[in-house]
Amino acid sequence: MGDEIGEWLDEFLKDENSNNNKGFRLVRFDESYNRKTVDKKTPIILKQYNPHTGFADGFPILIISQESLDLLNEKLLQKYKTTKKDLPLEMERFRPNIVIHTVDDNSKNNAHIEDDWKSIQIGDHTIIHITVPCSRCSMPCNNMKLGIRDKAFNEPSDILQTYRLGSHLGYDTFFHLNPSQWFFGVNAVPTTFTSTPIFVGDIVTPRSYTPQERSQDIDMISRT
């Protein structure tokens, strides 16, 4: 978006210990370009909404419940006690754009409740449809505040491989996803488009799958 902005970024982000501090650029997606979501993972019924994304990996929305992160940190603290200064891990490592906190008395038991949702309604208007679970790379192992990775601390990858692999969750059968990949959060696309913004603190109403609906959506994905 121009040399002037690029030069400002070079100066602001420069590393005093590095000789490579040039070449930063601020970029944007051209509004005329329509980058479609991952076709093989988008149910047929959702394609009528022309789901698309920008710089996000495969889908425009990633949803994670706070209770999912709480369970992860509980397991990490049990594993490492107080020997790791990086704990507890922050939600930013997983880069969701919607974080949901359940409010019922059994909230501690609601970890990964988003796995079973078909869609959610935010406020009175916005409808977001869940597509597939989100497989994760090694990026969450990076310390987001420092921009570095402790190679001796391969978390959360190591701990999540003990309970969130595709083979543990049946995703290799249900969604034809990699059984050795670990999953955290769910991908989603909007199915209503209004000018109404969403805000922190909005009421979210989830709709859970019935067994028949889950079977139908899985079939729709597998046939694409």
24 shares its domain with 56: no
Are 85 and 179 in the same domain? yes
The answer on 146 and 187 residing in a single domain is yes
- Same-domain check for residues 110 and 178: yes
Mean pLDDT over 194-220 rounds to 74
Q: Which domain holds residue 20?
A: 1-33
Domain shared by 123 and 98, yes or no = yes
For the ranges 96-105, 142-151, 152-161, 200-209, the lowest mean pLDDT is seen at 142-151
- CA 60/CA 126 separation, integer angstroms: 15
Cα angle: 60, vertex 66, 68; to 5 degrees: 90
Same domain, 16 and 61: no
135 and 58 in a common domain: yes
Q: Which residues on adjacent β-strands are paired with residue 148?
A: 143
Q: Which of 20-24, 158-162, 209-213 has the lowest mean pLDDT?
A: 209-213
Whether residue 11 is found in the same domain as residue 122: no
Residue 194: which pLDDT band, with cuts at 50, 70 and 90? low
Instruction: Please give the pLDDT value at position 223.
Output: 45
Specify the DSSP class assigned to residue 114.
G
Number of H helices, E strands in the chain: 6, 8
Mean pLDDT of the chain: 82
More confident residue, 173 or 189: 189
Same-domain pairing of 27 and 71? no
Question: What is the band of 53 on the pLDDT scale with cuts at 50, 70, 90?
Answer: confident
> How many folded domains does the chain comprise?
2
What pTM was estimated for this model as a whole?
0.82
